[in-house]
Every structure is written in structure tokens, then in C-alpha cells.
Amino acid sequence: MKKLLYSITASALVVLAVFLGFWSWWQENMAPVNPDDHKLVVVNIKKGMSPETIARILKEKELIKSETAFLLYLRYHRLNLKLQAGTYALTKSMTTPEIVKTVVEGKSLTFKITIPEGYNVAKIAKLMASFGFNEKKVLALAKNPPYDYPYLKEIPDNVQYKLEGYLFPATYEISYTDTEEKIIGRMLKKFNSIVEEENLIKEAQKRGFTLHQLLTLASLIELEAKKASERPLISGVIYNRLQKGMLLELCPTVEYALGRHKLRLSAEDLKIESPYNTYKYRGLPPGPIANPGLSSIKAALNPAKHDYLFYVARPDGYHAFARTYQEHLQNVKKYLP
């Protein structure tokens, strides 16, 4: 009897080991070949191609890790006969299920690019370059935009990029054949729809701002507020400092002038000669320092009413607010190492 129990237990352990081994192999082969590689790989699937041929092509182009896993996935989900002919733009950052879904749905030559809230023009250009687009062209378009929107003509000449703040953060469906100019134009079109839907020009005027100034303020809020609930509070601090004629002294503006992010700015950094340096020049910088989302734009239009003039970041991502400089120094001592 004991031998039988041992035999059953041993068999169960073998089955479990086999299952766990298969599960590990399965998970590994469903994952992207390279999650950081967004460059487009064009794949032409002709009518009548067998799943085996398609799997071989995808493996040769290093888009999947395993032909066997690809074919097993098709069979398990009964998709063998549902792959559609077409020319597809795929990337090594796609999972096997994502590739299968693209080909089954026949989404040829399209993919998605998500522009996160708070990305500046330089970051957007690098992101687009990771999908195979020309980074220098994107920067050139942002510096000298050929698009016909009236408010773009009112942007001052001393900004770093005229389209900074105007490329609305969202997910865009992109065609492989799209040009950089067309993609940037799509981002501007999305921004323009927000301007019209939210009546932003008139709302900005109610606050005594131009649309450009509103976006500048919103970009500061976007980068300063790590928690959505604090956006109106931080907006209120900026309003209070502007009304009192105080320097805004916001680190992200100095980082924008430097052209890079730093964990801690030095005393020398704070002296950089740039109109974006709010430690040196009063008022708003000449233009946005990032592309804000709608919630930051709304916070710029609706600041919280309070008498705070200072804030310092806490380790939990929130801020400690202060009404006086003395209170602020106490917060700095408490929260900054």
C-alpha cells in the first residue's frame, strides 16, 4: 500500500513538475522579444499562407520567440483559419497575443503611440524615434510648425519650441505610411478639439491669460503635482506667488533650461541664464515646459483658494504646504534629506 502511495505521489510530482515547466515555457514565449524595441518591422502576409509559414516568417523577423508556441496559441484559441492577409507594421515590443490579434483583426499598417501627460517635445521626439520616425524632423516641426491655427501665430519667438504645450497627450492610431508632419498634425488637431470643447481661449481670458499663458501655467502644474488631488493646490500657490510678484522658483523650469532632469539642482544650476529660469526671472516662463493633460489645464483655470506660498515634496509623493518662509524651512528640514 505504501509503495502504491509513493508511486502515486511521485507520479503527481512529476505531472506537477511537467505542468510548471510547461507554464514557465509558455509565459516566456508569449512575452515580447524585446519590450523596449518599438521600431516597426513590416510583415507581408499573403493570401493562402499557412499558419506554419506565417510563424516561420515572424520568427525569422525576430517578432516571436517560438514558432511552436505561436502555433499552439492559435490552435488553443481556434484562430488557425482567422489570420488575414495584409501588410502589417509590427514591433518586437509586442506580445505574441498582440501580434495574433493584429493579424486576426486585419489591422494592417497601423499601430498605436501613447504620449504621456507631462512629456516635453524632446521626449516626444525620442519616443517617435523609437518607432522608427525621424527625431530631428519632429524637433524641426515643433520649432517651426507649418500648421494653420490662429493661436500658434501668437506664440512669442523666444520659446524653445513653438509647439511645446500644444501636442496633446493621448493615444494615437498611426499608419506605417504616415509622415512626421502628419502625426504631429494629428496631435495638434486633438489639441484643437480640446480647445473648442472646453472653450479654453475664453476661459483663459477670464483669468487674465492668453491661451499660451494658460498652457504655460498648466505645464508647471503638470510637472510639479505628482498626485492629481494636489493640482488645484499647487495651482493656487503659483497664482499667489504671481499676484505678490514673487519669483516662482520652480525646479522643472531650470531643468527645462538645462535640457535634462536632475535629482537635485546645484546652486550653479539655479544661476543658468535662461528666460525659463524662474529662480532668476519673475512671472511665468516664456512658454510651456511640457505638454499638459486636461486635468492640469483645468487646475490652471480653477486654482484652490488658500494663502499658501510654499510647498516641498514629501517621500509619499504629496507635498507639505506652508504660508510663511519659516514654516517652509521647517518642512524642508523635515522632508528633505
Structural domain range at position 323: 200-335
By residue count, the chain amounts to 337
Do 167 and 228 lie in a common domain?
no
Phi, psi of 57 (to 5 degrees): -65, -45
Domain termination residue (choose one: 78, 108, 138): 108
Asked whether the beta carbons of 58 and 87 are under 8 A apart, the reply is: no
Do 170 and 128 lie in a common domain?
yes
Q: Which stretches of the chain drop beneath a pLDDT of 50? A: none
User: Counting beta carbons within 10 angstroms of the beta carbon of residue 182, is it exposed (0 to 12), middle (13 to 18) or buried (19 or more)?
Assistant: exposed
Return all residues near 217 (Cβ < 8 A) that are at least 6 apart.
Answer: 209, 235, 238, 284, 300
Do 208 and 153 lie in a common domain?
no
| Among 26, 17, 18, residue whose Cα is nearest residue 66 | 26
Do 117 and 96 lie in a common domain?
no
Return all residues near 98 (Cβ < 8 A) that are at least 6 apart.
Answer: none
Give ∠ CA 130-133-138 in degrees, rounded to 5: 105
DSSP string for 109-127: TEEEEE--TT--HHHHHHH
User: Counting beta carbons within 10 angstroms of the beta carbon of residue 201, is it exposed (0 to 12), middle (13 to 18) or buried (19 or more)?
Assistant: middle
Pairing of strands 171-175, 110-114: antiparallel
pLDDT digits (tens, 9 = 90+) for 316-332: 999 999 999 999 999 99
Global pTM value: 0.73
Do 99 and 190 lie in a common domain?
no
Q: What end-to-end distance do the CA atoms of the chain give, in Å?
A: 67
- The rounded percent of the chain whose pLDDT value lies above 70 is 94
**pLDDT of amino acid 199:** 95
Domain assignment present for 11:
no
pLDDT digits (tens, 9 = 90+) for 232-290: 999 999 999 999 999 999 999 999 999 888 878 888 988 899 999 999 999 999 999 99
Do 192 and 231 lie in a common domain?
no
Asked whether the beta carbons of 86 and 108 are under 8 A apart, the reply is: yes
